[in-house]
């Protein structure tokens, strides 16, 4: 089937008439649809539509905008299983996880629906008599939204829902690898009565759609989740126009296991964090830092259990690990594995593409563990975004923290210890936007702030109350009812 862009409330073809296909990474003969390969002309139309819709959408009372989101959330809930299955087909992660991903989008949509009756500002007394003053939130305006393929439903809802409840309009460019999920999400919103032009969807590549969208002079804010490399480029486009730019980028997330940690608990958390979503989560654990005394014991058991993970099509409920998203990603992962070997790390399992039987139909890579990794190695520093875990040894707590903090990234982090003092210190000392105690690096809930420090972000946070701060600007209001000119700061 040929899908279309959604611009100004109409489903329309790209001006240039070009298309691209979305196929399953588990079985490339499984086609999810054909989509417009749009360009700057389509972006311009979409931004104009967002511009036209803005005045009316801002005037809709926030509780009414919230009610619309509530209806959307209910429809997501009704369609949960179908959406999860589509997601597994389109980007590969196993059903158990895609169900969770859809649920995350549902949770976020309900949360932000409720925000419609809050959107809290504040009042405060004036220094002058007969004068009232308060602060209210205003929408920012026309927002460009650019998203990755690994959470093709949840991440868009993290951005769309707070932006919409606050009264913004958007143009969305989804990832080339997951256009079908974007279509389904927007279709549901449109069917629930979203006014024309409030959300516009333009399919196409980063270069042909993403760049002109980010550069568009009528865009007031850019919200982006993806790689640090692309985020940096987008930040520059935003700077030219003095736009607010929200960036959520890469990670190199560590789990620390201390000698007093519960090893069984740690093993489960490590496997889930390193190989869930085939390692393709921004919060995936890609570095395991083990204290000397339990290094051998933990690593031996970890390798054994990792070798038992079942690879396959995520639609099969018995499968643990699905494919990686595309061939380019598969090659990139394998290059990093070759590099790790060259750097002198010890390959303990995996390290190659899996092609047995049905696996030959897709892009499967064996879960891979490197031991004896040194903190300066590139496999310990750079985001690989695949099922590759680098294991490092630490002398003690101090060295473990130093290794954990010794990268440019700072999204998630975790420590396994039964020592309450060390756990509390780690919460203070780990340079990351998220810290888990006695749990892996993944599992964020939608009502807490989500984001990272250093190269992972530029200071913003998604989710929870923090998201409302991202998608609104403050206005200070002063009402003087004294009937004379009163001057603040004691001016006579």
Which parts of this chain interact with ligand NAP (CB under 6 A)?
146-151, 155, 173, 175-177, 205-207, 210-211, 214, 225-227, 230, 233-234, 248-251, 282, 383, 385, 411, 456
CB atoms within 10 A of CB 424: 11
Cβ closer to ligand NAP: 211 or 354? Answer: 211
Backbone angles phi, psi at 32, to 5 degrees: -100, -5
Eight-class DSSP state of 208 = I
Sign of torsion over alpha carbons 382, 387, 388, 391: positive
Told to judge if 282 belongs to the known catalytic residues of this protein, a careful annotator would answer: yes
The residue (of 133 and 227) whose beta carbon lies closer to ligand NAP is: 227
Tokens of 458: 């530029």
The least distance separating ligand NAP from the CB of residue 186, rounded to whole angstroms, comes to: 15
- Tell me the C-alpha distance between 433 and 414, whole Å: 11
CB of 211 to ligand NAP, least distance (A): 5
Q: Least Å distance between CB 146 and ligand NAP?
A: 5
Q: Cβ 408 to ligand NAP, closest distance in Å?
A: 12
Residue 155 vs 404, nearer CB to ligand NAP? 155
Contact 469, 166 (CB under 8 A): no
- Which 8-state DSSP code applies to residue 407? S
Q: Choose, from 90, 104, 115, 248, the residue flagged as catalytic.
A: 248
Shortest distance in whole angstroms from residue 296 CB to ligand NAP = 31
Of 470, 411, 376, 469, the residue nearest 228 (C-alpha): 411
Nearest residue to 470 (alpha-carbon basis) of 122, 143, 102: 143
Query: What distance in Å separates the CA atoms of residue 173 and residue 219, rounded to the nearest whole number?
Result: 13
Q: What token pair was written down for 278?
A: 């085939």
388 in Cβ contact with 345 (< 8 Å)? no
Smallest distance, Å, CB 61 to ligand NAP? 31
Catalytic one of 48, 97, 184, 282: 282
Helices (H) and strands (E) in the chain, counts: 15, 23
Residue 263 has phi, psi (to 5 degrees) of: -65, -35
What sign for the dihedral angle of Cα 435, 437, 443, 445?
negative
Q: Which two tokens stand for residue 398?
A: 């101090």
Of all helices (H) and strands (E), which one includes residue 192?
none
Q: Indicate the residue among 124 and 207 with the shorter CB distance to ligand NAP.
A: 207
Closer of 88 and 228 to ligand NAP (Cβ): 228
Q: What angle do CA 204, 208, 211 make, to 5 degrees?
A: 110
Nearer to ligand NAP, 206 or 449 (CB): 206
Closer residue to ligand NAP, CB minimum distance, 322 or 371: 322
CB of 322 to ligand NAP, least distance (A): 16
Residue 368 CA to residue 351 CA, distance in Å, equals: 5
Q: Rounded distance, CA 338 to CA 334, Å?
A: 6
Q: Which segments of 188-311 are extended strands (E)?
A: 199-201, 221-225, 244-248, 253-257, 285-291
Nearer to ligand NAP, 214 or 388 (CB): 214
Cβ 215 to ligand NAP shortest distance, Å: 9
The H or E element spanning position 40 is helix 40-59
Rounded least distance, CB 231 to ligand NAP, Å: 7
**What span, in angstroms and rounded, lies between the C-alpha atoms of 353 and 365?**
4
Compute the half-sphere exposure of residue 414: CA atoms within 13 Å on the CB side of its CA.
30
Active site residue 248: yes
Residue placing its CB nearer to ligand NAP in the complex, 416 or 471: 471
Give the residue among 365, 405, 373, 371 at the shortest CA–CA distance from 252: 405
Residues with a known catalytic role: 248, 282
């Amino acid at each position: 089937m040929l899908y279309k862009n959604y611009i100004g409330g109409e489903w329309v073809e790209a001006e240039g008439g070009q298309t691209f296909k979305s196929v399953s990474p588990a079985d490339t003969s499984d086609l999810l649809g054909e989509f417009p390969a749009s360009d700057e002309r389509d972006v311009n139309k979409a931004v104009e539509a967002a511009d036209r819709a803005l005045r009316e959408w801002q005037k809709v009372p926030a509780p009414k905008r919230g009610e619309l989101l509530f209806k959307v959330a209910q429809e997501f809930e009704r369609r949960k299983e179908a959406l999860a299955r589509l997601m597994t087909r389109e980007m590969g992660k196993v059903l158990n996880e895609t169900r969770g991903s859809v649920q995350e989008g549902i949770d976020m949509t309900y949360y932000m629906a409720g925000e419609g009756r809050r959107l809290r500002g504040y009042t405060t007394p004036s220094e002058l008599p007969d004068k009232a003053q308060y602060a209210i939130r205003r929408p920012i305006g026309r927002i460009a939204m650019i998203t990755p393929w690994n959470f093709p439903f949840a991440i868009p809802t993290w951005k769309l829902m707070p932006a919409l409840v606050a009264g913004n309009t958007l143009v969305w460019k989804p990832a080339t690898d997951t256009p079908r999920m974007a279509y389904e999400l927007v279709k549901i919103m449109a069917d629930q009565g979203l006014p024309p032009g409030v959300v516009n969807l333009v399919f196409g590549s980063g270069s042909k759609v993403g760049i002109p969208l980010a550069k568009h002079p009528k865009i007031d804010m850019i919200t982006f989740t993806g790689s640090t490399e692309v985020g940096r480029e987008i930040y520059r486009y935003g700077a030219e126009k003095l736009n607010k730019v929200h960036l959520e980028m890469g990670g190199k997330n560590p789990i620390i296991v201390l000698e007093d940690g519960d090893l069984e608990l740690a093993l489960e958390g490590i496997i889930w964090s390193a190989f869930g979503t085939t390692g393709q989560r921004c919060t995936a654990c890609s570095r395991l830092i083990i204290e000397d005394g339990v290094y051998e014991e933990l690593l031996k058991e970890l390798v054994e259990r990792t070798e038992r993970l079942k690879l396959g099509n995520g639609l099969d409920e018995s499968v643990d690990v699905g494919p990686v998203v595309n061939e380019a990603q598969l090659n990139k992962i394998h290059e990093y594995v070759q590099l790790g070997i060259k750097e002198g790390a010890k390959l303990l399992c995996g390290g190659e593409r899996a092609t047995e039987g049905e696996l030959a139909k897709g892009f499967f890579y064996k879960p891979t563990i490197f031991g004896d990794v040194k903190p300066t190695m590139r496999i310990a520093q750079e985001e690989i975004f695949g099922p590759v875990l680098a294991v490092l040894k630490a002398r003690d707590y101090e060295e473990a923290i130093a290794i954990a903090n010794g990268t440019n990234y700072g999204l998630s982090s975790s420590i396994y210890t039964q020592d309450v003092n060390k756990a509390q210190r780690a919460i203070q000392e780990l340079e990351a936007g998220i810290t888990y105690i006695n749990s892996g690096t993944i599992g964020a809930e939608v009502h807490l702030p989500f984001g990272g420090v250093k190269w992972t972000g530029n200071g913003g946070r998604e989710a929870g109350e923090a998201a409302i701060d991202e998608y609104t600007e403050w206005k200070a209001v002063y009402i003087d009812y004294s009937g004379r000119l009163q001057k603040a700061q004691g001016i006579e």
